[in-house]
């Protein structure tokens, strides 16, 4: 009965990386993320981490040294094995399938706008993507400073897709 959802795997990964850590600490990590895919809401994280502990993938202990009691989570050997399994080929199909892109989705229906409005849409999109790229660049630089090379590499992935989308939007702009 290992983790079934990506969120469970990611929480496992966060505990591996930051552990020992509180459920609150995991939530903070989610709130810092640029993507809005998961909010890291209390209603999701607290029951989820209890489940992972019950499954033997996490283990918790009460830290009474601090000003107030804190439930510290660590990853277990079994948990680490599970994390590695999640990353070891062959990966599930869903790991590779093209993801939902609200911008691309909208382009399918761009023909319903007047050409002038279409151009406005594309100009707006390009600006937003440029802001987004800059945010990921800042995050990457932060990760480099903190000596977290894999997180920096992940941010470079986000930067690369931002650049590709900007180039794509510009090419549409020329066609219209």
Task: Name the site residues for DNA (rule: CB under 7 A).
Answer: 4-8, 22-25, 27-28, 38-44, 46-48, 66-68, 70-71
Pick 54 or 101: Cβ nearer a second copy: 101
Query: Which span (20-28, 30-38, 45-53, 55-63) binds a second copy, by CB under 8 A?
Result: 30-38
Bridge-based pairing of strands 58-63 and 70-75 is: antiparallel
Measured from the CB atom, the residue of 13 and 25 that comes closer to DNA is 25
Least Cβ distance, residue 51 to a second copy (angstroms): 19
Name which of residues 82 to 121 contact a second copy (CB under 8 A): 83-84, 86-91, 94-113, 117, 120-121
SS3 131: helix
Helices (H), the chain: 6-18, 23-32, 42-54, 77-87, 102-107, 115-145, 149-175
Tell me how far CA of residue 133 lies from CA of 7, 122, 126, 149, 171, in angstroms.
Answer: 25, 16, 10, 19, 18
96: which DSSP letter?
T
Q: Which two tokens stand for residue 95?
A: 């790991």
Binding site for a second copy (CB under 8 A): 6, 10, 13, 16-17, 34-38, 80, 83-84, 86-91, 94-113, 117, 120-121, 124-125, 128-129, 132, 136, 149-151, 153-154, 156-158, 160-165, 167-168, 171-172, 175
């Amino acid at each position: 009965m290992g983790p079934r959802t990506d969120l469970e795997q990611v929480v496992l990964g966060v505990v591996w990386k930051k552990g020992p850590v509180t459920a609150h600490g995991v939530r903070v990590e989610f709130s810092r993320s640029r993507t809005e895919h998961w909010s890291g809401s209390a209603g999701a994280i607290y029951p989820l981490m209890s489940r992972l502990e019950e499954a033997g993938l996490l283990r918790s202990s009460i830290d009474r040294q601090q000003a107030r009691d804190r439930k510290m989570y660590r990853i277990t050997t079994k948990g680490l094995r599970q994390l590695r399994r999640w990353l070891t080929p062959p990966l599930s199909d869903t790991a590779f399938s093209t993801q939902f892109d609200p911008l691309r989705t909208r382009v399918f229906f761009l023909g319903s706008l007047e050409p002038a409005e279409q151009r406005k849409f594309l100009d707006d999109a390009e600006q937003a993507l440029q802001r987004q790229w800059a945010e990921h660049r800042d995050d990457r630089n932060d990760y480099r400073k903190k000596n977290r090379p894999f997180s920096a590499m992940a941010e470079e992935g986000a930067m690369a897709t931002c650049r590709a989308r900007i180039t794509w939007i510009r090419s549409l702009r020329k066609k219209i």
